[in-house]
Amino acid sequence: ARSTEGGIPRQLGRYAEATRAFEQAQAAQPTTQGAIAVYAARARAGATAPEQVLEEWIRSRPEDMGARAALAE
């Protein structure tokens, strides 16, 4: 599954590669878990404003408590 393609690079500490894989999966099939995975990978990669993906997700889905909880951590 596309959503798991970033898992191996993430486990190997290749966060930029993991970010790209998670972003592609999220673009193809948007999910809460996908948005959280993109956020986490961006944060580990040292990206500027990694929380932006979750903020955008929550703006379009304000009832999504899972994404809200991830952003609050």
Structure tokens at 2: 């596309």
pLDDT in tens, 8-64: 556 667 788 889 989 999 999 999 999 999 999 999 999 999 999 999 999 999 999
Count of residues in the chain: 73
pLDDT value at position 9? 58
User: 């996908």: which residue's tokens?
Assistant: 34
Distance CA 44, CA 1 (A): 22
30 CB-near residues (< 8 Å, 6+ apart): 57
